Amino acid sequence: MNAQTMTQQEIRLTGIEILGRHMGLTGMIRFLQQTETGYGDYTKERDKLLGDPSLEELVSDIQSGGFNKKNYFSESD
């Protein structure tokens, strides 16, 4: 096995196999969770879902109990 000639996928799979052998399944999963970069743009997605409510609107929603009942995840998104 020569890392210089391996594809990115081969390197990743070999690395996962080595992690699993040396750290066990749980250790491998915990390591991968820490190193995965994720995808998307959290800030844009948050703004799209929550909008830009004023402080007064947030306080009012929380006090009325409506904050937990709002449907922030509409089916049209």
Q: Is 74 helix (H, G, I), strand (E, B) or coil?
A: coil
Residues 6+ apart with CB under 8 A from 43: none
Q: What is the mean pLDDT of the chain?
A: 81
- Tell me the per-residue pLDDT of 14-35, one tens digit each, with 9 for 90 and over: 999 999 999 999 999 899 888 8
User: Of 6-10, 19-23, 48-52, which gets the smallest average pLDDT?
Assistant: 48-52
- Give residue 4's pLDDT: 86
Report the alpha-carbon distance of residue 2 to residue 63 in Å, rounded.
62
**Looking at residues 65-77, what average pLDDT do you find?**
55
